[in-house]
Amino acid sequence: MPNCSAPAGFDDPLEARRLDALYDYEILDTASDARLDRLAALAAELLDVPIALISLVDEDRQWFKARVGLEDVGLEAGETPRAWAFCDETIRGDAPLVVADATADARFADNPLVTGRPYIRFYAGAPLITPSGERIGALCVIDQKPRQLSAAQRRRLSSLAATVVDLMESHRLARVLERREKRLALAELTQMAQIRYGRAFEASLNEVYLFDADSLRIVAANSGARQNLGYGSDEILRLTPLDLLDGLEPEQLERLLEPLRSGRRRSIRFVRAQRRKDGSRYPAELTLELDRGGERPLFVALVQDVTAKQAQERELGGALALTQSILDACQEAITTFVPVPDARGEVVDFRCLQANAAACRLHVEFFGDLVGVRLLQLWPAWRDSTVFEVLRRVVAQREPATIEHHYADGRADAWYKLSAAPAGEGGLTLVVSDISERKQHERALQRSNEALEQFAAGVAHDLQTPLGQIAGFAALLERHLDAAGGVPAKARETLGCIAQAAENMSHLVSGLLDYARLGTLTVDPEPVDLQEIVDHCLEEFAAELADAEVTVSPLPEVPGNATLLRQVFQNLIGNAVKYRSADPLALSIHAERSGAVLRIAVEDNGIGIEPRHAERIFEVFRRLHGTDSAYPGLGMGLALCKTIVEAHRGRIWLDVDPHAPRAGGGRSGGSRFLLELPLAAPSTPRRSGGGQVLSLHGRGRTGTA
Ligand code: ADP
């Protein structure tokens, strides 16, 4: 019996044929079939035994398609090794095999199914013989006690076995028919696809293949696809995309196709290695669409060989890596964004395309991976702030902008300088630097300037009072002396000197205060009519200029602070008047545009300045004359002019060119001051100088001369 006969393998042609016939039924390991179960139950009942099985004898196991009563005897196995199978003995002949008492049968006495569960004593099995004569298994009945089987019962068992085979056969035929139908349908489909996609399909330079949405079988492939893949027209029709796409599991393919099937997407695109018939692979970009237009839905796969494209991308990747390393070396956070429009096309956010290391450090909460993150996720507080408006403007007007901005939300509280520039199609590059420290210093500086200003004002006030008293006491003393009988001439002169010295000191103190204030003021540029300013100054000096030859060319408007610019001209005109020579005064104020700046020349024919003093005269308290000279002054006028002009982003200097024209037509003598002022307002206000009226008397009208 079974344990004494080793199973025959595929090397045995008879056994191979038998196994082929068995496999043809595609029955092994399938779910139970109610009709076959009923047949097994009928066998058990007819022959009055507790156990009936439909056993199929596989290469090295017997597998039960139907089992009745096995569980009741404590055996739940759906199969046993072939070596234990009584049925393996049964399939050696056409007639039923009957074993009345297995313990008394040398073939089975030590069979584990006899010595152990289900403790078989009685066995009767009729082979399942296919129409082609192959014995693929047995219908068998089993009892735990010995018994006999009558000839009639044997016949019944055989005819039930034949019925089992009939049922299996009818299943098999149904399947064959179904497949044939499908094959026919597929052939039709292929024909239909060719008609439907016509010549364009065949002539396309790309690879195109169509596959059935149900079976996934390729139903048509154009010559591009066939050539690149190396398959013949018929060969390729036996394949599915799973045969072509490298390492793609059926579930993965289904997941890919799902959005098309459900209608969520019109097309999908992915890159995957495609395998040629010869086993070689190439990177392919597949665009898939589902065509529901025909009788049966078809997937259309457009395939592009992207070998060259990927090589290019690798090259580009090298260049990008270089750019990235440069960006990473920068301390500022640099991020490039693309716009995110809403349904109406309005930019409602930006999405990060590239970020340098500093940006990643700034936004550690995104684990350093900023690509794809939206701007308002990075900076939520900008949602309704002017910053977002500025960024939108940068993109819309394609003009860069720089702003300083105090950012505060739950995670950050800092001052940032933002420089935004348009990048690519509607994109934006944003450079963010933390300027909190600078702002802190500025605030500290502002506080200390304010304290200094207060201190200077206090000192000035404290000094002015005794100075006024000195002058007052000197005048009082003069009156007392007059009353006491007259003041000697020398004493009167000395008293006059005391009063004058006190007044000089008083002017010096006010000048100092003004100069100190200049350092803390800001120029908020407004259009300033220079003509009006100069006219006004000339009027102020009308008396001194009564006999002078004054020429002024038309002067334009410049952006600036009128009060401060007036001081510049007051000082320059005042100096021309003060440092006049014995000749009648000639003063010329002439302006010309030079690019983006206005150059103004203020010339006189006075005593002139030696070129070696050209720099020094702009230093504060620097004078070329002693206090007792004929030219009194504090030495602050030109220093103030320089500070004011520079606060307007301009410059002022003494022209030392000996050939430069001089006022009055002469070629020597006199002074020529040049100043340049920008014609357009600067984008950000500049510190220094201010909209405050300064009470500087730099013209030094304090002298006795
Ligand atoms: P101050 O006139 O009070 O001395 P400024 O700063 O206005 O102070 O001028 C500095 C010095 O430059 C003056 O002391 C003077 O020697 C010289 N200076 C300025 N303007 C002229 C000028 N137009 N002609 C000759 N010397 C001048």
Section 269-285 average pLDDT: 90
Structure confidence at residue 577 as a pLDDT band (50, 70, 90): very high
Q: Whose CA is nearest to atom 25 of ligand 1?
A: 608
Q: What angle do CA 591, 595, 598 make, to 5 degrees?
A: 25
User: What is the average per-residue pLDDT within 421-439?
Assistant: 90
Q: How far apart are CA 415 and CA 405, in angstroms?
A: 6
570-582 mean pLDDT: 94
In this structure, the residue with its CA closest to atom 12 of ligand 1 is 617
381 touches ligand 1 (CB under 6 Å): no
Query: Is pLDDT of 37 > 70?
Result: yes
Q: DSSP character for 6? A: P
Name the token pair of 455. 């201190």
The CA-based angle 697-700-703, given to 5 degrees, is 130
Q: Which residues pair with 275 in a beta bridge?
A: 281
Q: Is the pLDDT of residue 667 over 70?
A: no
What is the pLDDT confidence band of residue 690, given thresholds at 50, 70 and 90? very low
Percent above pLDDT 90 for the chain: 44
- Binding site membership of 609 for ligand 1 (Cβ less than 6 Å): yes
Q: Rounded distance, CA 683 to CA 241, Å?
A: 62
Residue 8 has a pLDDT of 46
* CA-closest residue to ligand 1 atom 4: 635
Ligand 1 pocket member 336 (CB < 6 A):
no
Mean pLDDT of 548-572: 93
Quick check: 125 and 142 in contact, CB under 8 A? no
Per-residue pLDDT band for 632 (boundaries 50, 70, 90) equals confident
Is the pLDDT at 78 greater than 80? The verdict is yes
What's 50's DSSP letter?
A: S
Check pLDDT > 80 for residue 7.
Answer: no
* Ligand 1 centroid, distance to 331 Cα (angstroms): 48
**Of the listed ranges 233-242, 555-564, 694-703, the one predicted with least confidence:** 694-703
- Count of H helices and E strands in the chain? 18, 25
What are the tens digits of pLDDT across the range 12-32? 888 999 999 999 999 999 998
pLDDT band of residue 43 (cuts 50, 70, 90) is very high
Averaged pLDDT for residues 558-566: 91
Q: Which of 570, 575, 636 maximizes ligand 1 atoms within 8 Å of its Cβ, making it the mutation to test the pocket?
A: 575
Task: Give the confidence band of 568 by pLDDT, cuts at 50, 70, 90.
Answer: very high
* Ligand 1 centroid to residue 661 C-alpha, Å: 20
Check pLDDT > 70 for residue 531.
Answer: yes
Does residue 380 carry a pLDDT above 70?
A: yes
Q: Is the pLDDT of residue 3 over 70?
A: no
Residues in the chain: 705
- Could you tell me which residue, 73 or 454, shows the higher pLDDT? 454
Q: What is the average per-residue pLDDT within 486-515?
A: 81
Confidence band of 704 (pLDDT split at 50, 70, 90): very low
For 184-218, give the DSSP string: HHHHHHHHHHHHHHHHHHHH-SSEEEEEETTT--E
* Ligand 1 atom with the shortest distance to the CA of 618: 6
Ligand 1 in reach of 571 Cβ (< 6 A): yes
Give the global pTM: 0.39
Instruction: Report CA(581)–ligand 1 centroid distance (Å).
Output: 13
CA-to-CA separations, 488 to 483, 543, 674, in angstroms, rounded: 13, 35, 50
- The confidence score (pLDDT) of residue 196 equals 62
Measured between alpha carbons, how far is 303 from 439 in angstroms, rounded to an integer? 58
What pLDDT sits at residue 200? 58
Q: Is 117 in the pocket of ligand 1 (CB under 6 A)?
A: no
Q: Indicate whether 5 pLDDT > 60.
A: no
Mean pLDDT of the chain: 84
Ligand 1 contacts CB of residue 574 (under 6 A): no
CA distance 253 to 242: 8
The arithmetic mean of pLDDT across residues 488-516, rounded, is: 81
Here the tokens at position 653 are 């200097």
Select from 105, 132, 102, 104 the least CA-distant residue to 120: 102
Closest CA to 679 of 621, 620, 600: 600
| 6 pLDDT more than 90 | no
| Confidence label for 650 from pLDDT (cuts 50, 70 and 90) | very high
Ligand 1: centre distance to CA 623 (Å): 7
Ligand 1, residue 623: give the atom nearest the CA: 14
Which pLDDT band, with edges at 50, 70 and 90, does 701 fall under?
very low
Tell me: the pLDDT tens digits for 316-344?
A: 777 777 777 888 888 899 999 988 888 88
Q: Are 120 and 100 in contact (CB under 8 A)?
A: no
What whole-number distance in Å separates Cα of residue 475 and Cα of residue 467?
13
- Residue 445 above 90 pLDDT? no
Give the orientation angle of helix 562-578 with respect to helix 637-647, to 10 degrees. 150
Q: Report helix, strand or coil for 527.
A: strand
What number is the average pLDDT over the span 368-382?
86
Q: How high is the pLDDT of residue 2?
A: 38
Q: Is the CB of residue 625 below 6 angstroms from any atom belonging to ligand 1?
A: yes
Residue 603 near ligand 1, beta carbon < 6 Å: no
Report residue 187's pLDDT band, with 50, 70 and 90 as the boundaries.
Answer: low
What percent of the chain is modeled with pLDDT above 70? 88
Residue pLDDT, tens place only, 203-240: 666 788 889 999 999 988 888 888 889 998 888 888 99
Q: What is the mean pLDDT of residues 266-295?
A: 87
**Number of the ligand 1 atom closest to the C-alpha atom of 640:** 6
Enter the tokens of residue 432. Answer: 């963010």
- Give the residue among 573, 584, 574, 580 at the shortest CA–CA distance from 546: 584
Q: Which atom of ligand 1 is nearest to the CA of 698?
A: 3
